[in-house]
Chains A and B, each alone.
Chain A
């Protein structure tokens, strides 16, 4: 199995900040790395596909980068509605998810 390690586990933020979340794969997944947002008591929502491709309807402040084993999800100007748990997921082999990064208010 490809293990995805997300860091940090929790990130305390101030609204308006630019932040970066990390996802590291135990082996190369090329760019088959996708990001999801999950708000409390809601289903996950696809944010970014193929490491950096945007999804229709997702605010432009969300962006992704990386390839191989190291990936980053950035939020340019965090808003209160962004307080969620963010998961990365690889699709290069049988799917696996990272353990998530929780965004909370500082």
Chain B
């Protein structure tokens, strides 16, 4: 059974760096074809894919966020991480991590989401 759970700071100030952790079970990020993706959703708005990290260490980021995103993983501890630098109020959203399969690029298991508010 695949489960994922996000954790993060809840609230942070503009210009700071947002650090999120996705803790998962039921699969390994060292197994061929496995991936974890990050998706966010501002309150009342749609879904935006942010980034994906794959079993082989390759990463893909949403070009609209340019170089603000960094994804990484800790395979031994079944965790994936997302960092977003220089946050502002537009980054206020619920952030989800989701299990992803290589090349197919659909999100078949989702975490419950973590709400992040950027405010001074």
Contacts and interface: CB of A to CB of B under 8 A. Distances in A.
Nearest to A34: B106
A53 B62 CA distance: 27
Contacts, number: 55
A44 B63 contact: no
B60 A44 contact: no
Nearest to B96: A43
A44 B107 contact: yes
Given A87-B46, A97-B48, A99-B46, A43 B105 contact: no
B106 A44 contact: no
A94 B60 CA distance: 8
A49 B62 CA distance: 22
A49 to B, nearest CB: 5
A91 interface: yes
Contacts of A97: 46-49
Interface in A28-60: 32, 34, 36, 43-46, 49-50, 55
Counting contact residues on chain B (CB < 8 A from A), the size range is 20 to 34
A6 to B, nearest CB: 9
DSSP class of B's interface residues: helix, strand, loop or mixed? mixed
Interface of B: 37, 46-49, 52, 60, 62-64, 96, 104-108, 110-113
Contact of A89 (B63, B107, B111, B113): B107
Contacts of B62: 94
Nearest to B49: A95
Contact of A44 (B52, B64, B110): B110
Contact of A43 (B46, B106, B111): B111
